[in-house]
Structure 1
Amino acid sequence: MTAETESIDELKARYAALKETGQKEGEFEAKLAAAPTAPDTIPEDKILKQDVVPGGWYWTTNIKRGQTLRIVNTEATPGIALQVWNRHDPSERLNTADTIKVQWTARIGKGRVLLSDMGRAMMAITEDTCGYHDCVAGHSTAITNEKNYGPSTLRNSPMPVRNSRDNFQIAAAKLGLSKRDVHQSFCAFAPVITGEEGKLHWQDDALQPGAFIDLRSEMDLTICLSNCPHPMAPGGSYEPQPVAVILWDAGPVAADDLCRNGTAEAIRAYENTDPLFD
């Protein structure tokens, strides 16, 4: 056995050990069960900004490190796509593939962290009353709209039939970015699951009116939400419903914060992030 082969074998063994630890059930789930819950109603004096995003439209804002964005799915609309950039260096952006890979799970919910393509923590999911979000299938496009609704529906729809890809490109241009800066989305309120045969499916009846997700900003960010139906959402008509967005101050982060300490991978992500703000 050569030194190179031995090194490869050692790396494979290390990967297998990390995977086994990362996918081992029990430790994270216990921390999740013990974690505090956020209030259903945010105190007025904690609200920094609030708005309503109409169906089919997009919304952008800047978020400072430590502030929390709540997205409220008031009418159980199927899917809210999210783009995230480092406000001071937008070449650093959300990487959903690494978010899944590094944390050893595609079930990204409360206690998990949205990671950048530089291995840093961008947003932490501090509360989640839905439990179904998608990092795999992606956001809607003109092509997925035509496939899902058909030319007749697109022509005769009582509301403009928009899609997330176009929304993001328009928003990016207004932010001084380009279509090259549009990346794979984190899609909230999108119950995409994997069936026994390994195919992706939409979980019917998983969405409930009033469900919300809290996303704490772990660096200064620029974000864009697109309120267009997820490409896998069922239904032959284009009827996205409005969602509420609330930027609020959730207070100082506890030393035993679930997102920061939930897994070894999360701890490393914050070790990469915190020095930017020391």
Structure 2
Amino acid sequence: MSDPALVTIPARRGKAARVKQGQIVKVINTHGDQVVDTWAFNADDLNEFMSMEHTRPHIMKIMPAVGDAMLTNKRRPILTFIEDTSGGVHDTIISACDRYRYKFLGVEGYHDNCTDNLQAAMGELGLAAPETPCPLNLFMNIPVHADGSLSFEPPVSTAGSYVALRAEMDLVIAFSACPQDILPINGVGHLPTEAHFSVD
């Protein structure tokens, strides 16, 4: 990773950045199988944020693709997919993991989680997310089967693959390198790893 513009999203942790309208955010799956929970907030009003439930009826599908705009809870474009080399499999259904999820999965005591990572990442910028919106789960593979059921599957992305997103307003973007190590969403038998992003 020699590009000085690259920012590390540490394994099991979060990172956030300010982005101007028109800038391109490139999110890199450095090792190929790391899910990156992604949030975006209007820089001028954090109560307006990228919303999966408002985006799905706009794009009329559950998986965004190149050319699709992600909408806010005020139904305004905030990020647009302009490039995707990862295989195009992402998730808009599953909420961010939290301490309650890991307790449900049998974890005793504290477990790193995306909900806390969001707040920590925003805190580094002196901000606080007003809530934890359902994230855009980049690289996450949640197939919907013919009977309507879901399953947690390993990513199809490969090392170094990426998505590029254009900011449609001044925004704050936040990421979590998901610390899920019980279900195979970060690859079968694989521990969570770091990922990277750049803003140009």
Instruction: Check whether TM > 0.5.
Output: yes
Q: Determine if contact 1:92/1:117 at 8 Å carries over to the other structure.
A: yes
Aligned to 2:54: 98
> What is residue 194 of structure 1 aligned with on the other side?
144
Write the distance in 2 (CA, Å) between the matches of 1:236 and 1:150. 19
- What are the Cα deviations for residues 207-255 of structure 1, in whole angstroms up to 9, with x where unaligned? 321210001100000111011145884178672111111112xxxxxxx
Q: How many Å separate the matches in 2 of 1:232 and 1:198?
A: 23
Paired letter, 2:7: D
TM-score by length of 2: 0.85
**Which residue of 1 is the match for residue 94 of structure 2?**
137
Q: Distance in 2 between matches of 1:55 and 1:231?
A: 11
Q: Which has the higher contact order (CA 8 A, sep 6+)?
A: 2
Q: 4+ runs of 1 displaced by more than 6 Å?
A: 235-238
The residue number in structure 1 matching 2:130 is 180
**Are 1:202 and 1:232, in contact at CA under 8 Å, matched by a contact in 2?**
no
Q: 1:166 to 1:226 in 2, by over 3 A?
A: same
Structure 1 residue 246 corresponds to structure 2 residue 195: no
**Distance of 2:58 and 2:39 partners within structure 1:** 19
RMSD: 2.6
Alpha-carbon shift at residue 79 of structure 1 (Å): 1.1
Q: Does 1:71 align with 2:21?
A: no
Which structure is higher in strand share?
2
User: 2:134 is paired with a residue of what secondary structure?
Assistant: coil
Shift of 1:111: 1.4
DSSP 3-state at the match of 2:166 = strand
Looking at structure 2, the residues matched to 193 and 232 of structure 1 have their Cα atoms a distance apart, in angstroms, of 18
Residue 69 of structure 2 aligns with which residue?
A: 113
List aligned pairs for 1:144-163, cutoff 5 A.
Answer: 144-148=101-105, 150-151=107-108, 161-163=111-113
Amino acid at match of 1:55: A
TM-score (norm: length of structure 1): 0.63
1:226 partnered with 2:176: yes
Partners of 1:73 and 1:121 in 2: CA distance: 24
- C-alpha distance in 2 between matches for 1:244 and 1:207: 14
Segments of 5+ residues of structure 1 without an aligned counterpart are 1-43, 156-160, 249-278
Greater CA drift, 184-193 or 77-86? 77-86
State percent identity of aligned pairs.
23
Describe the SS at the equivalent of 2:83. Answer: strand
Mapped contact 2:34–2:155 kept (Cα < 8 A): no
3-state secondary structure, aligned to 1:134: coil
Tell me, in whole angstroms, the C-alpha distance in 2 between the residues paired with 1:210 and 1:245.
Answer: 11
CA distance in 1, matches of 2:42, 2:10: 26
Per the alignment, in what secondary structure is the counterpart of residue 45 of structure 2?
coil
The separation in 2 between residues aligned to 1:246 and 1:174, in whole angstroms, is: 17
